[in-house]
Amino acid sequence: MIKKNKLNRIKHLLFTCILFVSNGSSILGQTSDKKYFAKPTEKQLIWQKMETIAFVHFSINTFTDMEWGYGNESPKLFNPTNLDCRQWVKICKEAGMKGIILTAKHHDGFCLWPSKYTEYSVKNSPWKKGKGDVIREFADACKEYDMKMGLYLSPWDCNHPDYGNPKYNEYFKKQLKELLTNYGEVFEIWFDGANGGRGFYGTDKLHTRTIDKDYYNWDEFEEIVKTLQPNCIIHGGKIADVRWVGNEEGYAAKTHWSTMHYADSYVEDMPVQYQLNTGHENGIRWFPSETDVSIRPGWYYHDSENHKIKSVPKLLDIYYESVGRNSLLLLNLSPNKQGRIFREDSLRLINWRKQLDLDFENNLIDNQTNFVANNQNQLKYAFDGDFNTFWKSNTEQAQIEIDFGKEQVFNRLVLQEYINEGQRIKRFTIKALVGNNWKNIIKGTTIGYKRILRLPDIATNKLQIHIEEALDQPLIADISIYNAPLVLSSPKIERNQKGEVSIMSPDKSGHVFYTLDGSDPSKNGLKYKAPFICDDKVTIKAVVINNETQGEIAERKFGPSKAQWKVVRQKGDFSKLFDGLSETTWIAKGDDVKSIVVDFGSKINISGLTYLPDQSRGNIGIALDFQIQVSRNGKHWKTMAEGEFSNIRNNPILQEIGFKRNSKVRFIKFITKTVADGQNALAIAELDVLSK
């Protein structure tokens, strides 16, 4: 019997041979004596050059304070008091976005347009007396501001009574045709990969993930898209144009290929999400990635997250680890119950764009710069700022020397391949002339459409780019160099179990100032010098100040003392549960380890529990559901909350579980029945309580 992985290799070889034999040439018109490269289509190229686009999550979940609804929420809950799609689009335009994708229908099944085929839509809401159409207003706003419009349509529908049988596929096709016919040009359609059981109309109390993987008629869905919107990029499905980056945290891998094999040829013993994050060298299809991440912890608006908007430095990290690593950034905004983007979200987004503009304001390569490499005649095309021209090396290994003619200080280097002919470069090294010696600055792997290297300040008059390994002769579309201004990150505030507070600045320059009363800190206030004890309920704010430059203010709210907390009836080192450090994780392995009991040492008033899953990029032992019990004596237990953590596998953020009423208890029990990916481990970075 032929093993599966060997059979996949044979299938891959046969497929490749067919491509080469057909018409006596290889795929995409290359002659048979050339190496094979997967190449982007014209619409994939146009899409990649957009670089940053926006997501907007707005629906019935906005009004229920949920991330994933169950489909049983009343349409009457949907009633934005000041909906303004023009505001959304205007903000995104000012932030340099090139397009916006709106959630027309999420997993709950509620439709933001008056669909003919369901009653679960805006037509049965009090908003505009049932005469409104969010998609129409959104489309008109995009047209007014010359922004490309995209739509998200969830295949999973918890509300529809036919979900789970063939009839639902016909319903879904009708809805897809409605959206792609009635609202103008759509640049991207988003089919979410999440799926589940029957939801509200079935026997499941909660969502299930038992739907058959071949349930959806993807071929028919995609044929509708290609027929009605031939220029539309498809995300998700069976024959998508672009791929998910493998996480919702906002990063692509440092090694990041735009090419991949088909699913039946993936590496069997490697997680699919990891392969999506890196791509496949020599992949036979051009399948670039899209990095989706929210400006807030969640995708929908929640009042409780108004102080958790990502900082400008964090958004810069996301940009450099997505666009700067050969991916496209899809950044989510969450309109509130009024139907408007929260003021702080919009300010953060605009300030992020202003900082990016400053980072790339002055290219240090000018008319006085000299260049040396093989194929000298074409070398100018690597520095002309035109992606459609390129320098081609005479050999697979190449070296480009840049002579500024005077000493320059730089900390950003932007490299772009001419991907029209495929992605080629595997490994490179950057060197700078320091004194009389060439010094290695950084080593890198892939480049692709765009690779942005963030470096410490480097003073030099000469720079070398060594392409050490490539699949074929490198094609360089553009090289640019910048000296970005200093951006001070917000400090990190931590408190360990003993009540000792530490405030750490990620930056080497500047001083940290803080307050303990919730007021904004300034350089006239308390200056942080060393860890201090503060073991009561407290709000701490801190900021880094360097001369006249001030970073963003960090804020942490701490509850009751954890000094006496301990875990009962289990062995092991549980200090990591209460150490205040998100980067440390308690891990228990074994199928029987699905709960943990905490003894507070005395009775305390609590209103809920917070659970932070493992924060490593491997994400070990994530609980998918929960039951929270409390006790005054450790013998008699009462269930205070139970449910599931929606989307926690892809977005492992802090989970807040509120109780319907306060309780004065000494013990709390966290129980889970299901761990992500079937792992026989439970991992917890932090457990804490909510206290009003």
| Span 256-315, pLDDT tens digits | 999 999 988 899 889 899 999 999 999 999 999 999 999 999 999 999 899 899 999 999
* Angstrom distance (rounded) from CA 530 to CA 532: 6
Mean pLDDT of 170-188: 98
CA distances (Å), origin 401, targets 373, 382, 390, 438, 537: 7, 12, 16, 12, 58
pLDDT value of position 10: 37
- pLDDT bucket at 507, cuts 50 / 70 / 90: confident
pLDDT value of position 179: 98
pLDDT value of position 34: 53
pLDDT value of position 195: 78
Nearest to 550 by CA among 508, 515, 512, 494: 512
* Angstrom distance (rounded) from CA 83 to CA 85: 6
Dmax (CA) of the chain? 83
Six token digits for residue 440: 């290695």
Check pLDDT > 70 for residue 607: yes
User: What is the layout of strands, in order, in the sheet containing 492-495?
Assistant: 492-495, 500-504, 532-533
Q: Do 63 and 78 form a contact (C-beta atoms < 8 A)?
A: yes
In 625-685, where do the E strands start and end?
625-631, 638-644, 655-671, 681-684
223 membership: H or E segment, kind and range: helix 218-228
Check pLDDT > 50 for residue 3: no
* Angstrom distance (rounded) from CA 133 to CA 151: 14
Q: Do 588 and 572 form a contact (C-beta atoms < 8 A)?
A: yes
pLDDT value of position 199: 52
Instruction: List Cβ neighbours of 402 (8 Å cut-off, separation of 6 or more).
Output: 365, 369, 370, 371, 462, 463, 464, 465, 479, 481
Mean pLDDT of 157-166: 89
- pLDDT bucket at 143, cuts 50 / 70 / 90: very high
- pLDDT bucket at 206, cuts 50 / 70 / 90: low
Q: Which residues pair with 526 in a beta bridge?
A: 514
Directed axis angle between helix 312-320 and helix 343-359, to 10°?
50
249 membership: H or E segment, kind and range: none
pLDDT value of position 154: 96
Check pLDDT > 80 for residue 570: no
Mean pLDDT of 568-575: 74
DSSP string computed for 515-568: ESBSSPP-TTSEEP-S-EE--SSEEEEEEEEETTEE-PPEEEEE-S--TT-EE-
Q: Side chain identity at 110, as an amino acid letter? A: F
Six token digits for residue 629: 């019990």
* Angstrom distance (rounded) from CA 97 to CA 99: 6
DSSP string computed for 571-639: -S--GGGSSS-TT--EEEESTT--EEEEEEEEEEEEEEEEEE---STT--S-BSEEEEEEESSSSS-EE
Q: How many residues does the chain have?
A: 692
Q: Do 659 and 626 form a contact (C-beta atoms < 8 A)?
A: no
pLDDT value of position 508: 73
**What are residue 465's phi and psi, to 5 degrees?**
-115, 115
DSSP string computed for 31-73: BTTS-------HHHHHHHTT-EEEEE--STHHHHT-SS--S-S
**What are residue 641's phi and psi, to 5 degrees?**
-160, 150
Neighbours of 590 (CB within 10 A): 9
Nearest to 646 by CA among 5, 49, 68: 68
Instruction: List Cβ neighbours of 198 (8 Å cut-off, separation of 6 or more).
Output: 158, 163, 164, 204, 208
Nearest to 61 by CA among 302, 340, 342: 302
* Angstrom distance (rounded) from CA 373 to CA 476: 12
Check pLDDT > 70 for residue 16: no
pLDDT value of position 7: 38
Instruction: List Cβ neighbours of 59 (8 Å cut-off, separation of 6 or more).
Output: 69, 78, 103, 105, 106, 108, 110, 112, 300
515-541 tens-digit pLDDT: 999 999 999 999 999 999 999 889 999
Q: Tell me which range, 29-43, 418-432, 640-654, is most confidently predicted by mean pLDDT.
A: 418-432
Check pLDDT > 60 for residue 23: no
* Angstrom distance (rounded) from CA 268 to CA 119: 44
Q: Side chain identity at 683, as an amino acid letter? A: A
Six token digits for residue 591: 């199928």
Tokens 């990063």 belong to residue: 251
CA distances (Å), origin 125, targets 83, 109, 156, 160, 538: 14, 14, 22, 17, 42
Rg (the chain; Cα; Å) = 27
Here the contacts of 500-505 (C-beta below 8 Å, separation 24 or greater) are 500/531, 500/532, 500/533, 501/531, 501/532, 501/533, 501/534, 501/540, 502/531, 503/528, 503/540, 503/542, 505/544
Considering the chain, what is the average pLDDT of its residues? 90
330-348 tens-digit pLDDT: 999 999 999 999 999 999 9
pTM: 0.87
pLDDT value of position 30: 34
**What are residue 359's phi and psi, to 5 degrees?**
-60, -35
